[in-house]
Structure 1
Amino acid sequence: MLFLSRFFEIRDIVAPFRTHAEMVVPYESLDPARNALSGPWLHRGAAPHHAHGALRTGGRGVLRPVVAEDAPVDEAAPHLRPHHPELGEQPVRFQEDEDLGHHHDDPWRRNIHVALRSAGVDVPGGLRRFPGRRPGGPAASGMSSRICQGRKGEEMTGLKNCTVSVFGLGLLGGSLAWKLSRDGAAKSVAGWSRNPETVRRAHEMGIIGRPCATAEECASLGNVLVLAVPIRSMEETGLRIRPAAGSGVRAVFDLASTKTEVGRKLAPLWGSRYAGFHPMAGKERGGLENADPDLFDGAVCAVVPFENTGEEALSLAEELAEALGGRPLRTGAEEHDAAAACISHFPVLVAASLALLAGEEMEDHPLVPLLAAGGFRDTTRVAGGLPELGADMASTNGEQIRRLAGKYRAILDALLAASPEELEALLARAARCREAVLAGKGTLSRKRG
Structure 2
Amino acid sequence: MGKTQKIAMIAALAVTATTTGMVITTQSASANDKVVKLWVDNKAYKPIVKQFTKDTGIKVDFKIGQSADAQADLKKDPSAAADVFMFPHDQLGQMVQAGLIYQNTKYEKTIEKNQTESAVAGAKYKGKMYGYPYGVETQVLYYNKEKLSANDIKSWDSLTSKGKLTTNLADDGANYKYVPLFMSNGDYLYGKNGESVKGTNFNNDKGVQVLKWIASQKKNKGVIQSTDAASLNKMADGKADAYLSGPWDKVALQKELGDKLGVAKYPTVNFGDGDKQMKAFLGVKLFGVNAQTKNALNSMKLANYLSSDKVQQQIFDKLGYVPSSKAVQANDQVQKDDVAAAVIEMAKPENSVVMPKLPQMVTFWGPSDALINDAYKGKIKSDTDMQSKLDKLVKQSEKSDKN
TM category (shorter chain) comes to under 0.3
Larger helix share, 1 or 2: 1
**Greater CA radius of gyration, 1 or 2?**
1
Larger RCO of the pair (alpha carbons < 8 Å, separation 6+): 2
